[in-house]
Amino acid sequence: MTAKTEQYHIFFWDTETTGLFQYAHPPAILDLAVVDQQSGDIAQWLINPGGVLISSKAREVHGIDSSMVSGCQNFGQIATKMFDYMRNQAGSATPVLCGFNSHRFDNLVLLAELARYGIDFPTGWLFADLYPHLQQRASRHRGPILLQEQLSTIPNRKLTTIYQALVGRVLDGAHRAAADAIALHAVWKIALAHHPDFELPTINADCARGKRWDELRVRSPPQHPTPAVAHRSPRPSPDIPAEPANPGPSTDGPSPPRASPPPVPDAAPVDRLRGIGPKTRAALEASGVATVGALRE
């Protein structure tokens, strides 16, 4: 997708949530903001999490507590408003939700919240992520890297750090959805000024829904292999006299053959793919580069 094409309409967005993914329990969205790339208009909503508790760590980051959202509408009601706003702003163009590291979190949270309220993501709408293009080195998965010279000396690639390096001031109100979405819009404009031919890669909702979902965000706790236990002979019963240490040769004829002890079981193989989901496991097995069996050795 070309940044300048009229076929697409980009919205920069961000969320603040009740916490992180906890195995099969996705967090709920508390704060949602969308910034129109063309007009710069901002739409922001506080959202009632619908019974999902706000973790203490999340509250320390964004400062949102239950008293601030108890009287707000739930996500099902806000999602309808958000989609209507984006349709009106985009007109006949295709809306694109562009976030910062959103492929690994925000997209998944949004799709999980839509599923919780029985709402479909609009057909044909797309996701994009600016974060991979602001990293230190290129990758065939990320595509072109932007602003390498301008960002060569920063200590990390957090949005607040990138914004301060490019804009020249500290981001006010960081870790609230509106401030972060506005900062991402500012970074985008600077990047586009230096790279006018940059094409922003996009994915659809089906791709976003499966993006490392099984192996990274929603998985069961890893099952550790049970250590092998060496075979031990049963203790003699107190009613049966113990066999002498050196019984000597028998005078009653040849001794019957003694049964060999059972073999000691091999130790369980170390599963180096422990915690990796079925999709990645299947891809490794089909790749021919590294098989599951090889990784277990």
For domain 8-217, say whether CATH 3.40.50.300 is its number: no
CA-wise closest residue to 188 among 123, 99, 125, 260: 99
Instruction: Using the predicted structure, report yes or no on whether residue 109 has a pLDDT greater than 50.
Output: yes
Q: How many CB atoms lie within 10 A of CB 133?
A: 19
CA distance 38 to 34: 12
Q: What's the pLDDT at 295?
A: 38
Q: What's the pLDDT at 265?
A: 55
Instruction: Using the predicted structure, report yes or no on whether residue 163 has a pLDDT greater than 80.
Output: yes
Q: What's the pLDDT at 200?
A: 86
Instruction: Using the predicted structure, report yes or no on whether residue 28 has a pLDDT greater than 70.
Output: yes
Stretch 235-244: mean pLDDT: 51
